[in-house]
Amino acid sequence: MGYRSDVAIGMAFVNRTAAREFVLKMQACQPEDVRQALAEYSVVSGASEQEPVLFLGHYESVKWYASYPDVIAHDALRSLAEEVGATTRFVRVGEDLGDDEDAMGYEVDNMGLQEALQDAIQVRRTVDCDIPPGGGTPIDLI
């Protein structure tokens, strides 16, 4: 099965126009693997044309190695977004405690895009335990 991670990637654009221009540029000028990576993102946009737009990708229990072609494509996409002025965030949580990455990329933080990505991508480590409703039987009653 191998080592797996949970990964989230976000790209934040200052408005819908900037986001559309980026998508059109990627569709017209990039190789198939980068276009495919872009198609995996969900778009979260504000109510108006001038509000920030986020592209968010979330991948659970994946092998995320720098040499894998799909990982290379996502890294290229993030770099290309930064080149056109987007703010990006990459978060990876590995299986081992402490094997985490959290990287923000930007030249100028336009319109609080860093904060928007921090709100959209949050890291939580949880433990689930199957205790029946009502809490089960108290130890002293066994």
Global confidence as pTM: 0.84
Residues with Cβ within 8 Å of residue 126, at least 6 apart in sequence: none
Domains in the chain: ranges and CATH: 5-121 (3.30.70)
List per-residue pLDDT tens for the chain, 142 residues long.
Answer: 568 999 999 999 999 999 999 999 999 989 999 999 999 999 999 889 999 999 999 999 999 999 999 999 999 999 999 999 999 999 999 988 888 999 999 877 677 899 999 999 998 877 777 777 777 677 777 6
